Amino acid sequence: MHFALIELFNFGIYKGLHRIELTQGGERNITLIGGMNGRGKTTILDAVFLCLYGRKAAGYVPGSRAAYRDVLRSRINKSADERRASIRITMEADDGSGTVISAVRGWRESGESVTEELTVEKNGTADPYLAESWDYYAEELIPFGIARFFFFDSEKISRIADDESFERIKEPVKALMGVAAAESLCARLEKIRKENGKALAKSAPAELTLEAERLGAEIGECEKRLGELQEKKDSLSRDLESAAGRLNEAELEFSGKGGSLSLRRGALEAEQRGLRERESALKNEALILAANPASPLALCRSLALEAYRRMVSGEEGRKARSSLPAVEKALESVQREFRKEYGEGAECGRLSELAEKELSELRRRAGKEEADGISPAGMALLGNFVNGGSGKTAAEARRIVSESERTESALRQLDEHLRSAAGKDGAAELLQRIEELQAEKSGAESAILECDEEISSLEHRKEQLERQRSSLLMRLAAEADAADDSARVLKHSTMALLVVREFVRRLQERKAGALSESIMECVRLLSEKESLITQVTIDPESLDLTLRDFRGGILGKEQLSAGERQMLAIAIIWGLARSSGYRLPVIIDTPMARLDSAHRKSFVERYLPSAGSQVLVLSTNEEISARYLDKAAPHVGNAYTISYDEKEKCSSIVPGYFGRNLSDL
């Protein structure tokens, strides 16, 4: 089943008639409806709940805790000329039958009264029978217990991941498992059993009657105490949420006033002392380096290099001059002997050319100017300095200067921060307030934990008492007259109750694993990077949901960022929807309010195209912006924008998405 049309008339902020045509199936399964905050996006989600479920929409529609007629009255557009409103939802079957169902819920205000009317059309023809039994038919189409898996405000469902043990999903999970109906049957059987037990007790032995009364009284006390504890826990949970919110606000204000520096003042002062010690050490290193004989030469390294080259050149000239007479004499002797042996031929001429060439090079070197006298030891020291020592000295000097500059800069920054932290007004008071709020939050968490432990203990005690009473009632039934109807009813209702409770236990045990795996698969699909969460488990008895990390240890929700918690909540909702077996439209309001850029990319690319065969997204221009719109565009079949008329104080629904036509997407 999918939605073909949503039509609003004078509903909420929408004056007059407004139509939203929806796409379904294929690659273009997304319908975008864009609007600024407060312009009527959530009103569309409210309209779907009201049209489908009427009075049962309590808990979903804001203000629905008031009387139903007041809810309807408040939803009539205040600028409308006539005091009436209506919602139409047209649905088409996906089974190939071509069946089209239109439900129209309308109401009119007349004085103090509000008159509601529901009409249902099947294939264009009014069907009074369907209208009369609409509550049952709507439950068949979209069971109310699992509706929140398909129609949800993303900002609100993020609270799922903030709950201790994920309390908010337990009732929907029971509905999904089929446990809710079985528990309702248990309550009915218990009522029947109690009524017939009282009738039978009148003729039963006194000791059995007294024992039955005692057990009944104890069970009643357990139930009363459990109710009190649950109320206390709900109150503590509200206190915890309030304290956490106030703590977050105080921490933000504290940070804005530079208070975070005050928290770290001791560490910053220690860091400051360390930097001053390093500054002093660097000064000592600089003094030692300055006292090194090589340091002055490092300042005029080019001159030292030139002097060294002149000394090397002069030394070469001196050596050439001292060896020139001996070389000339040797060459003359070689030439003379060669002529005697081989005569004045060409070979002798060639030998003379070579000898003259070598002598010319030696005379050239001998002609170099001799440098000022320097000892061989001095020459060696100067050579070592030029060939390596000067580079090391310069590098060490650069290191000291660079590190000194960094140290001085860090000290200046620390001094400024410390002066700033010391001068902020109210930081100390805020710090005290934060500590008080942290203590309040910790106290609420401890009290909730104590409540959980007492509730668990009482539930175990109640279960034992109920088993004892069931056994006792079976004895009463066995000892009573076989013809007594109360005995038969008591016996069989007790047996049925035991069977149904065992059925509930086994059903939860069988389905918990499949639900856990479905949710974990959605976590993996939505993860942009390797997820912190490697396993999700649902306890078969308590339905508590537990997260585990890669080491197998329990992963606390406080270890997840706000964006990761919202993606976890979406994964939970998505996993439950996939496990429901229903192929239904998905409506998402405020889809990416708490998501960072990485999670938004994953949400648009991985979740929206796969969330369902029909997805309606109600977003602001900052959520599905140009960057993410381009990524979603291949899957968008229809697009609308909620336009607000400041003069009329009303909104209207126009084609296109914030100025972009569907053909442009």
pLDDT 10s digits, 581-608: 778 889 988 877 667 777 888 888 888 8
Mean pLDDT of 230-254: 75
* Cα within 13 Å of Cα(202), Cβ side: 6
Nearest one of 423, 93, 411, 466 to 258, comparing CA atoms = 423
Q: Which two tokens stand for residue 607?
A: 């979740």
pLDDT of 610 above 60:
yes
* Cα within 13 Å of Cα(209), Cβ side: 11
pLDDT for the residue 64: 47
Band (pLDDT 50/70/90 cuts) for residue 119 is: very high
602 CB-near residues (< 8 Å, 6+ apart):
526, 527, 528, 567
Neighbours of 186 (CB within 10 A): 18
Distance, CA of 478 to CA of 488 (rounded, Å):
9
pLDDT for the residue 123: 92
Region of poorest pLDDT, from 164-178, 291-305, 355-369, 385-399: 291-305
Bridging pattern class, strands 636-645 and 650-655: antiparallel
Nearest one of 10, 8, 40 to 620, comparing CA atoms = 40
Model pLDDT for residues 274-322, shown as the tens digit of each residue:
888 888 888 888 888 777 666 666 656 666 666 666 666 666 666 666 7
Decide if 33 contacts 623 (C-beta within 8 A): no
pLDDT of 262 above 60:
no
pLDDT of 364 above 60:
yes
Nearest one of 625, 624, 657, 626 to 640, comparing CA atoms = 657
Mean pLDDT of 506-518: 86
Q: Pick 205 or 401 by higher pLDDT.
A: 401
Mean pLDDT of 561-566: 76
pLDDT for the residue 483: 42
Region of poorest pLDDT, from 42-46, 361-365, 617-621: 361-365
Distance, CA of 294 to CA of 396 (rounded, Å):
12
Nearest one of 12, 4, 11, 23 to 615, comparing CA atoms = 23
Q: Pick 62 or 11 by higher pLDDT.
A: 11
Nearest one of 294, 302, 307 to 374, comparing CA atoms = 307
pLDDT for the residue 482: 46
- As separate numbers, helices (DSSP H) first and strands (DSSP E) second, the chain gives 20, 14
pLDDT of 107 above 90:
yes
pLDDT for the residue 418: 64
Amino acid at 620: T
Looking at mean pLDDT, say which of 160-164, 288-292, 531-535 comes out highest. 531-535
Residue 649, classed as helix, strand or coil, is coil
Mean pLDDT of 429-442: 79
Q: Which two tokens stand for residue 295?
A: 């340091």
- Identify the DSSP state of 123: T
Region of poorest pLDDT, from 143-157, 175-189, 469-483, 630-644: 469-483
Band (pLDDT 50/70/90 cuts) for residue 643 is: very high
pLDDT of 237 above 70:
yes
Enumerate domains of the chain plus CATH numbers.
182-240+428-497 (1.20.58), 265-423 (no CATH)
pLDDT for the residue 391: 61
pLDDT of 378 above 80:
no
364 CB-near residues (< 8 Å, 6+ apart):
none
Distance, CA of 341 to CA of 376 (rounded, Å):
45
Q: What is the DSSP track for 54-100?
A: GGGGTTTSTTTTS-HHHHHHHTB-TT-SSSEEEEEEEEE-SSSS--E
Region of poorest pLDDT, from 426-435, 491-500, 539-548: 426-435
Model pLDDT for residues 25-57, shown as the tens digit of each residue:
678 889 999 998 888 998 999 999 999 999 888
Mean pLDDT of 183-194: 79
Nearest one of 558, 519, 556, 511 to 535, comparing CA atoms = 519
Nearest one of 386, 47, 441, 430 to 250, comparing CA atoms = 430
Decide if 35 contacts 657 (C-beta within 8 A): no
Amino acid at 586: V
- Polymer length of the chain: 665
Region of poorest pLDDT, from 58-62, 317-321, 335-339: 58-62
pLDDT of 629 above 80:
yes
Band (pLDDT 50/70/90 cuts) for residue 423 is: very low
Nearest one of 127, 79, 84 to 108, comparing CA atoms = 84
Looking at mean pLDDT, say which of 380-384, 434-438, 480-484 comes out highest. 434-438
pLDDT of 142 above 80:
yes
Q: What percent of the chain has pLDDT over 90?
A: 14
Distance, CA of 470 to CA of 476 (rounded, Å):
10
Q: Which two tokens stand for residue 269?
A: 């002062």
Distance, CA of 152 to CA of 570 (rounded, Å):
10
Nearest one of 459, 515, 412 to 146, comparing CA atoms = 515
Region of poorest pLDDT, from 147-161, 271-285, 533-547, 631-645: 147-161
444 CB-near residues (< 8 Å, 6+ apart):
236, 237, 239, 240, 243
283 CB-near residues (< 8 Å, 6+ apart):
404
Can you give the pTM of this predicted structure?
A: 0.58
pLDDT for the residue 183: 77
* Cα within 13 Å of Cα(648), Cβ side: 16
Band (pLDDT 50/70/90 cuts) for residue 454 is: confident
Decide if 173 contacts 516 (C-beta within 8 A): no
Mean pLDDT of 554-581: 79
Mean pLDDT of 186-194: 79
Average pLDDT across the chain, whole number: 78
Q: What are the residue ranges of helices labelled H in 424-560?
A: 427-479, 485-526
Q: Which residues pair with 102 in a beta bridge?
A: 90, 121
Decide if 545 contacts 537 (C-beta within 8 A): yes
CA 473 to chain centre: 53
pLDDT for the residue 207: 67
pLDDT for the residue 127: 92
Decide if 476 contacts 490 (C-beta within 8 A): yes
Q: What is the DSSP track for 462-475?
A: HHHHHHHHHHHHHH
Q: Which two tokens stand for residue 26?
A: 């294929």
Q: Pick 160 or 444 by higher pLDDT.
A: 444
pLDDT for the residue 527: 78
pLDDT for the residue 476: 66
Residue 235, classed as helix, strand or coil, is helix
